[in-house]
Structure 1
Amino acid sequence: MNERNDRILESLDEAQREAATSTEGPVRIIAGAGAGKTRTITRRIAYACACGDWDPSRVLAVTFSVKAAEEMRSRIGQLGVDGVTAATFHSAALHQLNRVWADVTDAPFPDLQSDHRPLIAAAYARVTGAGEPEPLTVRDLEAEINWTKVSLVSPDDYVRVCAATHRQPPAELDPARMADLIGAYEADKTARNQIDFNDILLMVCHLLEDPELKEASAQIRGRIGWLTVDEYQDVSPLQHRLMRLWLGNADGGRGNRNVCVVGDAAQTIYSFAGATSYYLRAFGDEFGPLSADVTLNIDYRSTASVVRYANRVLAASPERTGYIRLASGQRGSDGPRVTAIRYESDADEARGVAQRFVRMIAKGAKPSDCAVLTRINAQQGMIAAALKEAGLGYRVRTDNGWQAQSLSVETLKEDLTAGVVTISTIHAAKGLEFPHVCIVGCSEGLLPFGSPAPGDALEEERRLMYVGVTRAERTLQLSFAVSKDGYAATRRAPSRFLQR
């Protein structure tokens, strides 16, 4: 090994090094929270390219946000490798469509629209005769349309799928009426030569499946010699189908086997949008024999106290055998203990969190070291008001269409100064980390949301709590208010996820 290659691998632990040097054939990396996932992926790509085993121009790494793709490209470049493509599923597919479009059709390229709510509202009014729907209704209808696409459920199959899975359509529609609405929406969109985000993936799938478009298919596949898929626990059936088609083995053929998937089943928090950890769990059966199957379970991000709490959240799960157990990579002290605080009202809770950060900042912490995590957007206004009253600046990260972050249409503007506290939903905080974290609203009905019975919905909430906990590097405070205003007769119970 030459000096340059040795530098690429330096400071990796044993498991990270095994993953980084396993560069051929199918590889699965189970990477727990804080375990150096991005570090391992980027060094694996840089190492393979530096050794001459991979051609950088034929390397594709896909992840789930523009920001994550940019960070991946930057890190690979800093390791001395240029020309690697790091992109989201949607942006990679859009580039592929643009590249071959003129070769497969004379039709104009469709107009990619980010906001199809007017078409959805019009389809609802036409199908139901009920007039213009409320904005929240349109949002729910849009989410259902997106779910059908990423789940590969056609309008013709929608009624049957609902019957088989007991799925209830939104807006009090019956399945047949919802299927009609989807059909009307698609017809209107086609008439306007428009596409939405998920149409991009569907179109590339259709192109790669069409036996009459072999040249275009070969052109796309020829540019993918080595594929890495990050956040594999959150891929949808549509994304999985596209990945198999990129590799040329969608229908059982061997195709290209140089694929590496990276993920953590315990961080699956987008099941409501069609994501599933099934493909991560089943990767060995689907692509075996594997060249390497590596688990990264040392959390270098969080203190031992935080890691223990995170493990205890998952330990109560009936699915715990499918989750990895983290070990803290921080030596010495366990760090401050995780605290749980009960407040009388939501306003008390918001003020308590704000004052906690005021005290920390007075002792030398930066405002940007601090984050308040919420379960839903509606919690954020009171937190923002309390921070403002305490003289602290803030930025807000909301759940605003997680899939819309895949084509540089993010609505969140990053403030990278040291002067603001972050207020974020747990969903929007995934992939981020902060020295000091407060998770508010840890009561039954809110976290877990709706107090679900044991089953898939409860497990999703448990994983969400786990993701929230593992955002904390040093201090973690969990809190809840026993009532909205301190006077309500109905008292809230502490979340079942709070450890006593």
Structure 2
Amino acid sequence: MSVTPARMAAMSADDLLDALDPEQRAVATALRGPVCVLAGAGTGKTRAITHRIAYGIRTGVYKPGQVLAVTFTARAAGEMRTRLRGLGAGGVQARTFHAAALRQLGYFWPKVVGGGPPRLAEAKAPLVAEAARRVGIAVDRAAVRDLAAEVEWAKVSLVPPDDYARAVAALDRVVPGGDDAPAVARLLAAYEQVKDERGVMDFEDVLLLLAGMLVERGDVAAQVRETYRHFVVDEFQDVSPLQQYLLDQWLGDRHELCVVGDPSQTIYSFAGATPHHLTGFARRHPGTQVVRLVRDYRSTPQVVGLANRVIDAARSAGGPAPLELRAQRGDGPPVRWAAYDDDEAEAAGVAAAAARLVATGVPASEIAVLYRTNAQSEAFEEALAGAGVPYQVRGGERFFARRDVREAIVYLRGGARAAADDVPMPVAARDLLRNAGWTEEPPATRGVARERWEALTALARLADDLAASSAAAGAPATVADLVAELDERAAAQHAPTVQGVTLASLHAAKGLEWDAVFLVGLSDGLLPTSLARTPAEVAEERRLLYVGVTRAREHLQLSYARSRTPGGRAGRSASRFLTELWPGAGRVAGRGVATIETDPRSARVAAALGHWRDERALALAIAPRDVLRPHLVAAIAQRLPRSREELASVPGVGPTTLAAVGDEVVATVLAALAQNSSRFER
């Protein structure tokens, strides 16, 4: 609900509560004392807590500048600020833990220490590599990455070097590079020395230094506590011991705190997060009001039903009882389960399904392919490109770091001063974007040119959205307003929506949602990962699947591949988390679940094409993928073309491929189909 200043003045405080359900309203009206909101996925927690803040301001209980709302990602903080502005609460501070701490540290450091605080190191890797060299640990790039993650874990877990060996033994934690915990402890100490010598601090130091300052300087603590009297912490299940320690210093002996979280969405334990602060909140804060949000407004009953069954097994694993979601939407399509012959076939099948969704009107930006590890993305990138479906890889180059985006913003910034008052903002913005090379129609080619067009188009759509919302509020936006919006989004890394299927890891998908979601690679060893050794680690993998399922609003497909390569041994089995729901691949278990099985002829054709491709590549002394790309092998095996005309209709098969190997491909397909054909074509 967007609120103009004029409308805000005319509204009563209770008018703010009209858009809330009974449980959300209970959150919004619980303005004093400790409050714990247990909020399931899709239950409107952000709506509830932003209305709580706005209601508190409207009733005079809060002053905007005395509220600090903290969350875990810059994107979430940016979204919260946008919602608060729309509710007439624009003066509230909504930041990440690190952004809030860095701001306070920068303010107090000159007064307490003198000068400016240490420079923030851009990355841990160079510091870790130098520390490893000093203590005699041989490292390569992968080892440096693992050790950097371990440094971060130790610091957010408040484990000093002297206690490291004892801590990892007590937790049965795997030590990077083997079992030499004392060596890693020495590296932790050397890392701190390297930082001190270079005059830099890392992200964990921002929290540690500020917390230490608040402990040691009562005058500083008093000033911070006088400034911020009411705290809200979102995603509280992901709080680390270090973040909790800083929060304790912010609070002092007060209990004016509202926390929001869901233990079933704890997926960052490996990085030091723990749900114990959430599950034990009421014990630490006597008199806590506990509110449960379980009405799921995001997903269909089919998706919600599966999510509940996925997480319900957590009860037997000894974890906290999960929230049972209650779907509020009408029925949707059944959840689909797909078993593919191999990874290439899975990628091709998912790309084809995504293309069908786009053809039926689902925007590509409302489709996601989610996997356990980033290494799984390549096959899906290739398959989507071959199917002509635009995509973006989440976790790749940041939107505002793109050169074309930076150049376009320069044009907008310059044009903001010269734009005529009588030219509507979206028209003026689009004219300026044309000067930056944008066109109304997409380029015919894919690749870099298409990505550039998608990025600039996202800016044009943002201008349209801003103009529409401003017009509805009675205050037409200008190009200067658009530039200000982009500056704020860049600071928060809150990128506008790019029109393309999102490829992302399950971890990166946390906090996001789409109309259609494909959960891929769901075989034992991938999910749960083979690295999950303890019951607690396996339980976290289950929660990761739960997070993936609850990202989908309407369409959901879960799939795995029986083999890694075409024609390979079918040695994979479905994830153990899924066998509880589907007793076996090819069988249906439960209302609303559809099973897809790959045509057995496809496996035979894929194997034959793979063998032909390898033989031809060997004869020509070239790579097999240069004979026929892997996604084309999978696509052809799915379509089973019996002529050049049918082969030409396979997505991705162009005139060059058709001319070079078309006849041989068709002949290979026909020969493979002729094997035991009567068995499959009765």
Common topology (TM > 0.5): yes
Residue 2 of structure 1, CA deviation = 8.2
Partner Cα distance (1:305, 1:399) in 2: 32
Q: Deviations over 1:151-187 (max 9, x none)?
A: 0000111122123233332022611110111111110
> Is 1:247 paired with 2:251?
yes
The structure-2 alpha-carbon separation of the partners of 1:391 and 1:109, relative to structure 1 and needing over 3 Å to count, comes to same
Q: What does 1:368-383 correspond to in 2, within 5 Å?
A: 368-383=365-380
Q: State TM-score, norm by structure 2.
A: 0.68
**Counterpart of 2:504?**
424
Q: What does 1:279-428 correspond to in 2, within 5 Å?
A: 279-290=277-288, 292-317=289-314, 318=316, 319=318, 322-331=321-330, 334-398=331-395, 414=495, 416-417=497-498, 419-428=499-508
**Counterpart of 2:94?**
86
Q: Deviations over 1:299-334 (max 9, x none)?
A: 100000000000010122224652111110114xx2
Aligned partners of 2:221 and 2:249 also within 8 Å: no
**Counterpart of 2:605?**
none
Structure 1 unaligned runs (5+)? 249-254, 402-406
Residue 489 of structure 1, CA deviation = 2.9
Partner Cα distance (1:376, 1:289) in 2: 42
The structure-2 alpha-carbon separation of the partners of 1:399 and 1:283, relative to structure 1 and needing over 3 Å to count, comes to farther
The structure-2 alpha-carbon separation of the partners of 1:413 and 1:282, relative to structure 1 and needing over 3 Å to count, comes to closer
**Counterpart of 2:240?**
236
Q: Which moved further from structure 2: 96-105 or 230-239?
A: 96-105
Q: Deviations over 1:48-96 (max 9, x none)?
A: 0111100110100000011111111110111112210000000100111
The structure-2 alpha-carbon separation of the partners of 1:66 and 1:222, relative to structure 1 and needing over 3 Å to count, comes to same
Residue 102 of structure 1, CA deviation = 1.5
> 1:480 aligned to 555, 560, 583, which one?
560
Aligned partners of 1:114 and 1:197 also within 8 Å: no
Partner Cα distance (2:235, 2:300) in 1: 24
Partner Cα distance (1:232, 1:349) in 2: 36
> Is 1:140 paired with 2:146?
yes
Aligned partners of 1:439 and 1:478 also within 8 Å: yes
Partner Cα distance (1:129, 1:284) in 2: 45
Aligned partners of 1:15 and 1:294 also within 8 Å: yes
Larger radius of gyration: 2
Q: Deviations over 1:6-65 (max 9, x none)?
A: 231112100000011000000000000000010001000000011110011010000001
Partner Cα distance (1:397, 1:462) in 2: 22
Residue identity opposite 1:288 in structure 2: P
> Is 1:54 paired with 2:135?
no
Q: What does 1:118-133 correspond to in 2, within 5 Å?
A: 118-128=126-136, 130=138, 133=139
**Counterpart of 1:205?**
211
Partner Cα distance (2:204, 2:320) in 1: 34
Residue 148 of structure 1, CA deviation = 0.4
Partner Cα distance (2:71, 2:277) in 1: 15
Residue 283 of structure 1, CA deviation = 0.4
Residue identity opposite 2:240 in structure 1: S
Greater relative contact order (Cα < 8 A, sep 6+): 1
Partner Cα distance (2:262, 2:177) in 1: 34
> 1:194 aligned to 200, 206, 216, which one?
200
The structure-2 alpha-carbon separation of the partners of 1:451 and 1:247, relative to structure 1 and needing over 3 Å to count, comes to closer
Structure 2 unaligned runs (5+)? 1-8, 399-487, 583-682
> Is 1:35 paired with 2:43?
yes
Q: Deviations over 1:341-389 (max 9, x none)?
A: 0000100000000000111111111111111001000000110000000
Say what the alpha-carbon RMSD is for the aligned residues: 2.1
Q: Which has the higher helix share?
A: 2
Aligned partners of 1:439 and 1:468 also within 8 Å: yes
Residue identity opposite 1:13 in structure 2: D
Any idea what SS the aligned residue of 1:60 has?
strand
Residue 452 of structure 1, CA deviation = 4.0
Aligned partners of 1:46 and 1:81 also within 8 Å: yes
Question: How many residue pairs are counted as aligned between the two chains?
Answer: 481
Aligned partners of 1:440 and 1:478 also within 8 Å: yes
> 1:225 aligned to 224, 229, 232, which one?
229
Aligned partners of 1:269 and 1:460 also within 8 Å: yes
**Counterpart of 1:251?**
none
Aligned partners of 1:66 and 1:408 also within 8 Å: no
The structure-2 alpha-carbon separation of the partners of 1:411 and 1:439, relative to structure 1 and needing over 3 Å to count, comes to farther
**Counterpart of 2:447?**
none
Residue identity opposite 2:194 in structure 1: D
Residue identity opposite 2:323 in structure 1: I
Partner Cα distance (1:8, 1:109) in 2: 42
Partner Cα distance (1:243, 1:453) in 2: 32
Q: Deviations over 1:394-416 (max 9, x none)?
A: 11113999xxxxx9999988461
**Counterpart of 2:429?**
none
Partner Cα distance (1:454, 1:185) in 2: 29
Partner Cα distance (1:415, 1:408) in 2: 8
**Counterpart of 2:636?**
none
The structure-2 alpha-carbon separation of the partners of 1:446 and 1:273, relative to structure 1 and needing over 3 Å to count, comes to same
Any idea what SS the aligned residue of 1:33 has?
coil
The structure-2 alpha-carbon separation of the partners of 1:409 and 1:205, relative to structure 1 and needing over 3 Å to count, comes to farther
